[in-house]
Structure 1
């Protein structure tokens, strides 16, 4: 319906504005301060980044109620990957926030999202600009695996701090002889992360084929 389409357009617009601000801010800061800007990337843009990622949880709801036709599991995995790494790993360890990998990760996320939300906004209006369509469904194929590698590296960098500070590790009192050692949880999650990457990459290729097939391009251009 028109109302739902307008709501989705406004949602995409909000995300586009947020990610564009982050992306532009990162580039300007790097051009102005050079490598020195990388260390405090999180402190400069972390709040807006967290806000955008929390908003992205709505996309799961959009799929569940049927107003977004994308597949649920791939999008759910992509969103939860970011939520876990951003909030559980980076946000909880101040020592990790100044690492260069955080800047690399944010750059990859925002580059992908600026393109994606631009494409989504135009698609809501029935506008399909072929170079943008190609970029939206092609750029993610090399950049998504790079972002997964960056997530994995960020987790590995954070492990010594979780081991030292005991963040999120839980030891239950007697009679419960049970404890949760969070570094072990993160190490197991690394396996899930890379297994999920294979599934998501396959889905990205299928989406690219569906949208960039000759027949689909002709239909969208007509």
Structure 2
């Protein structure tokens, strides 16, 4: 019998998949129509939906903690924090929103999520696909590393764009530069945990195929 938890996690993954599909399709269509000129206002076109999807991704931490989703909490925590912090920085610094690096960052984030959510949907339906499994746990890792490097470039540009603060206020550029130092550590931990997760799931798949 279909349980509420199963229906909820299916609807959540479907909603995220549809949201990121729309963002990626919109971004590619605008680039094909307007070329490089589309880079300047990509954030204005998809920023609201992207922010909504990333805000909803905070729920995934509760999914893992509650056992609805079988995944490691630490790497997902770093991923959620990275994206939401960087989005807040981009939203606050309006002059950064028209930079090409922001468009590249949004593109990479959506590629990552479209590698993950279809796999999660198939797992909820108990219809796993080896192609989606491989994409989720093999192709996802190098794309994530590129995305983390792009995040570093975005934060660096943000640190240069941020206005200097008064002496009694926390310096935004200083906070961003500190975040720039922490980012490689968080990304390294995430990649290490994901490699372990990849080995576990691929071994599990191979054992399942042997039993059949």
TM > 0.5: yes
CA offset digits 1:154-176 (Å, max 9, x no partner): 11111132134x4xx772xxxxx
Aligned residue number for residue 175 of structure 2: 185
Q: TM-score, normalised by structure 1?
A: 0.89
CA shift, 1:18, in A, is 0.3
Give every structure 1 segment of 4 or more consecutive aligned residues whose post-TM-superposition deviation is greater than 4 Å: none
Q: TM-score, normalised by structure 2?
A: 0.93
Structure 2, unpaired ranges of 5+: none
Number of corresponding residues: 210
CA offset digits 1:182-206 (Å, max 9, x no partner): 2111111111111111111111111
- 1:19 and 2:20 matched: yes
Contact 2:51 2:87 in 1 (8 A): yes
Q: 2:187 aligns with which of 194, 197, 217?
A: 197
SS in 2 for 1:91: helix
CA shift, 1:12, in A, is 0.1
SS in 1 for 2:185: helix
CA shift, 1:148, in A, is 0.9
Structure 1, unpaired ranges of 5+: 172-178
Aligned residue number for residue 219 of structure 1: 208
- 1:68 and 2:69 matched: yes
- 1:133 and 2:110 matched: no
Contact 1:22 1:48 in 2 (8 A): yes
Cα distance in 2 for residues equivalent to 1:170 and 1:61 = 39
SS in 1 for 2:162: helix
CA shift, 1:218, in A, is 4.7
